[in-house]
């Protein structure tokens, strides 16, 4: 049986950062399990940049201002001690990344370049053209190769095994051979990314961003925190949902409605197009709902116009965005405005982390970092450029803490073999199963339900309908079969299991959203348009039960900044 001291599930920025840190301990056996090759992880798609108050561009910036911007951006739902930790660690982590070789864009004097980003008081976002996540991901992978980190590439975790509130291991499928394995591990770090794929096509995430780690932990009894908070990115391409980064607006792009107006003047007169994401997303959606967009229904859109920037600037500063529009939308931003509309982008919610310094959950030996975790530093709304930061700032200490934890544990005799045999029988039964139900139908119905009823604007009645619909889809899912009985590279089996994860998460989102009777950050209720600090300045915690999520609440950590109205 495969056995590790520290097992990291997921090899994006957070997982690799943890792996790199853990691999420095030579007395500890570290393994990284990932369902795609590490460089295929969704971190690579982060374009815009990573925030740190280096004050390279503007000397008056400081970690303190960064902290305040983040607290305010979170609509005061973020834990202020954790946010402060993140913002003060940020410069150190950026320099560390640079020392590992990340090719950041430079200022004329050779220092790391920084640019302005939504919701930030200063140009604070470090970047590498429009491929910041890509170069960070590749650099971390390269350093892991250097440190001889052991990778289990194209493995897929199906279960977390916990006994007596202690991590014992996981059940996983080796996609390449189709074999089902139990893997013994003292410490397990989940770094599996977000759940935006509950909105399936109307989202910016990779096809594999199916919230695996969250659903696995949830089913194993670990609560999910703040699941109702889904960030909608204001600008996804009309037909594919692929993200047009904030960089396009940061460089000076205009949002235009069908009257030819720069409509952000109405919603955020000072910041205009650089207002925080949830505000811009709601503004665009309002324009569309009130008939000032082009097109109809799900296909409606507004224009993101870059033409005034000129061909030279677009080619130099936004080459990837330009190529993206040509390839996926058939539009060259030098010649035409880009048709855009909001799409689901980021999961603020995630696995409930109890201690931000170690990223440990309520179960001993189970850690969570990155988008799949909820510390919470993003609260009700994440600022652009803070997600990559979250990965590296919390990934590193989690790696170190997992090593420490593993060292403190001696080998035990928990009977994982029995779990492995049971899981193998279950998978074998699945492969033999037959069904008339089609996976895509269930998935699309789930996405449509979530977009229409638990999307950008929310209201009690539609959300209750959504919960009923998800329950019905879960029943239909029980009758569904993977459809492929093959052994090797059976991606139909993987897709089947992923859909099960998504349905559980969709239910948790809808139930927590209905219970939060206020509007805060990305959670906008039409029936409760105001923030209600008296009743809802608290984190929601969804616990798994076979009948549906059971919701409890926990305190928000407030240190320096008392809640104020959030205005930009």
Partner 1 sequence: MEKFKLKVFRYDPTKDDKPYYQTYELPVEKGMTVLAALFKAKEEQDPSISFRYNCRAAICGSCAVRINGHATLACKVQVKHMLEKYNTDTLVIEPTGNIKPLKDLVYDMDWVVDKLKKIQPWFIPKEEPPADGKEYRQDPYDHHKIDFASDCILCNSCMSDCNALKANKDFLGPMVISKAYRFIADSRDGAKRERLEAVLKDFNLEWCVRCMECTTRCPKEVQPYENIIRTRIIAAEEGFKSPGEIHAEIFEQDIYSRGLLNEMLLPMRQEGLLGAAKRAPFGIRMFFKGKVNIADFFGGHKVKRHDEVKKIMDKAKEVKKNIKIRLVSDVHTPYEDNRKSKQGG
Residues serving a catalytic function are 277
Q: How far apart are CA 165 and CA 181, in angstroms?
A: 22
- Quick check: 129 binds partner 1 (CB under 8 A)? yes
Number of residues that bind partner 1 (CB under 8 A): 67
Q: How far apart are CA 248 and CA 118, in angstroms?
A: 11
**Contact assessment for residue 512 and residue 228, using Cβ atoms and an 8 Å cutoff:** yes
- Quick check: 34 binds partner 1 (CB under 8 A)? no
Contacts of 488-494 with CB under 8 Å at 24 or more apart are: 488/176, 488/177, 488/178, 489/175, 489/176, 489/178, 490/175, 490/178, 490/431, 491/175, 492/439, 493/173, 493/427, 493/430, 493/431, 494/35, 494/156, 494/173, 494/175
Q: In the complex, what is the shortest distance from the CB of residue 425 to partner 1, in angstroms, rounded to a whole number?
A: 20
- The interface region with partner 1, picked from 138-146, 381-389, 451-459, 520-528 by CB under 8 A, is 138-146
Nearer to partner 1, 109 or 290 (CB): 109
Q: In the complex, what is the shortest distance from the CB of residue 39 to partner 1, in angstroms, rounded to a whole number?
A: 5
Q: In 3D, which of 419, 421, 499 has the Cα closest to residue 170? A: 419
- Quick check: 112 binds partner 1 (CB under 8 A)? yes
Binding marks (x or -) toward partner 1, 193..212, rule CB under 8 A? -------------xxx----
- Quick check: 236 binds partner 1 (CB under 8 A)? no
Strand ranges (DSSP E) for 218-292?
224-225, 230-237, 254-256
- Quick check: 330 binds partner 1 (CB under 8 A)? yes
Interface with partner 1 (CB under 8 A), residue from 289, 488, 535, 559: 488
What does DSSP say about strands 30-34 and 373-374: parallel, antiparallel, or unpaired? Answer: unpaired
Of residues 288 through 317, those in contact with partner 1 by CB under 8 A are: 315
Nearer to partner 1, 489 or 553 (CB): 489
Q: In the complex, what is the shortest distance from the CB of residue 326 to partner 1, in angstroms, rounded to a whole number?
A: 8
- Quick check: 1 binds partner 1 (CB under 8 A)? no
Q: In 3D, which of 132, 92, 87, 138 has the Cα closest to residue 114? A: 132
Binding marks (x or -) toward partner 1, 40..69, rule CB under 8 A? xxx-xx------------------------
CA 46 to chain centre: 11
Q: How far apart are CA 552 and CA 501, in angstroms?
A: 21
Q: Which residues contact 184 (CB under 8 A, 6 or more apart)?
A: 1, 2, 3, 4, 168, 169, 416
Nearer to partner 1, 109 or 296 (CB): 109
Q: How far apart are CA 133 and CA 390, in angstroms?
A: 12
Q: Is the peptide bond before 376 cis (omega within 30 degrees of 0)?
A: yes
Q: In the complex, what is the shortest distance from the CB of residue 127 to partner 1, in angstroms, rounded to a whole number?
A: 12
Q: How far apart are CA 235 and CA 233, in angstroms?
A: 6
The partner residues of 525 in beta bridges, in order of sequence, read 458
- Quick check: 99 binds partner 1 (CB under 8 A)? yes
Interface with partner 1 (CB under 8 A), residue from 167, 172, 216, 439: 439
Interface with partner 1 (CB under 8 A), residue from 22, 32, 135, 191: 135
Nearer to partner 1, 418 or 479 (CB): 479
Q: Which residues bind partner 1 (CB under 8 A)?
A: 36-37, 39-42, 44-45, 92, 94-95, 98-101, 103-112, 128-129, 131, 134-135, 138-139, 142-143, 145-146, 153, 176, 206-208, 239-240, 242-243, 315, 319-320, 323-324, 327-330, 438-440, 482-484, 486-492
């Amino acid at each position: 049986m495969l056995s590790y001291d520290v097992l990291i599930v997921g090899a994006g920025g957070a997982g690799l950062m943890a792996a790199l840190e853990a691999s420095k301990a030579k007395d500890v056996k570290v393994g990284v399990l990932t369902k795609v090759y590490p460089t295929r992880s969704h971190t690579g798609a982060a374009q815009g940049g990573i925030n740190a108050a280096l004050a390279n561009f503007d000397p008056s910036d400081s970690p303190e201002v960064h902290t305040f911007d983040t607290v305010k951006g979170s609509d005061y739902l973020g834990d202020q001690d954790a946010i402060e930790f993140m913002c003060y660690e940020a410069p150190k982590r950026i320099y560390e990344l640079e020392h590992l070789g990340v090719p950041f864009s430079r200022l004329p004097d050779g220092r790391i370049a920084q640019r302005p980003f939504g919701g930030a008081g200063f140009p604070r976002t470090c970047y590498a053209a429009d491929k910041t996540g890509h170069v960070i991901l590749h650099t971390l992978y390269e350093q892991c190769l250097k440190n001889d980190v052991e990778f289990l590439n194209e493995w897929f975790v199906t279960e977390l095994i916990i006994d007596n509130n202690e991590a014992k291991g996981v059940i996983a499928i080796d996609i390449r051979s189709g074999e089902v394995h139990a893997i013994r591990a003292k410490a397990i770090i989940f770094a599996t990314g977000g759940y935006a794929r509950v909105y399936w096509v109307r989202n910016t995430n990779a096809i594999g961003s199916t919230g695996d780690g969250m659903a696995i932990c949830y089913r194993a009894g670990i609560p999910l925190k703040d699941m109702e908070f889904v960030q909608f990115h204001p600008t996804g391409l009309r037909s594919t949902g692929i993200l047009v980064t904030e960089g396009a607006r940061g460089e000076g792009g205009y949002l235009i409605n069908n009257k030819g107006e720069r409509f952000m003047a109405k919603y955020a007169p000072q910041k205009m197009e650089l207002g925080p994401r949830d505000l811009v997303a709601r503004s665009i959606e309002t324009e569309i709902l009130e008939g000032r967009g082009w097109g109809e229904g799900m296909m409606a859109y507004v224009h993101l116009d870059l033409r005034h920037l000129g061909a030279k600037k677009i080619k130099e500063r936004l080459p990837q965005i330009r190529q993206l529009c040509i390839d996926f939308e058939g539009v060259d931003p030098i010649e035409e405005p880009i048709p855009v509309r909001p799409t689901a982008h980021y999961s603020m919610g995630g696995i409930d982390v109890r201690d931000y310094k170690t990223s440990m959950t309520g179960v001993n030996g189970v850690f969570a970092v990155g988008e799949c975790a909820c510390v919470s530093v993003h609260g009700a709304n994440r600022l652009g450029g803070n997600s990559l930061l979250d990965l590296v700032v919390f990934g590193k200490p989690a790696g170190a803490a997992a090593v420490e934890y593993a060292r403190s544990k001696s080998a035990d005799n928990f009977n994982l073999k029995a779990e492995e045999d049971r899981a193998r029988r279950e998978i074998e039964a699945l492969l033999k199963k037959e069904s008339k139900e089609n996976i895509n139908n269930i998935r699309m119905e789930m996405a449509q339900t979530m977009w229409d009823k638990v999307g950008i604007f929310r209201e009690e009645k539609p959300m209750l309908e959504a919960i009923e619909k998800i329950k019905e889809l879960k029943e239909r899912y029980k009758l569904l079969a993977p459809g492929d009985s093959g052994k090797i590279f059976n991606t139909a089996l993987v897709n089947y299991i992923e859909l099960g994860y998504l349905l559980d998460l969709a239910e948790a989102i809808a139930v927590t959203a209905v219970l939060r009777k206020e509007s805060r950050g990305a959670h906008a209720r039409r029936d409760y348009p105001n923030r209600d600090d008296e009743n809802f300045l608290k984190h929601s915690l969804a616990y798994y039960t076979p009948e549906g999520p059971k919701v409890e609440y926990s305190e928000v950590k407030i240190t320096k900044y008392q809640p104020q109205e959030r205005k930009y």
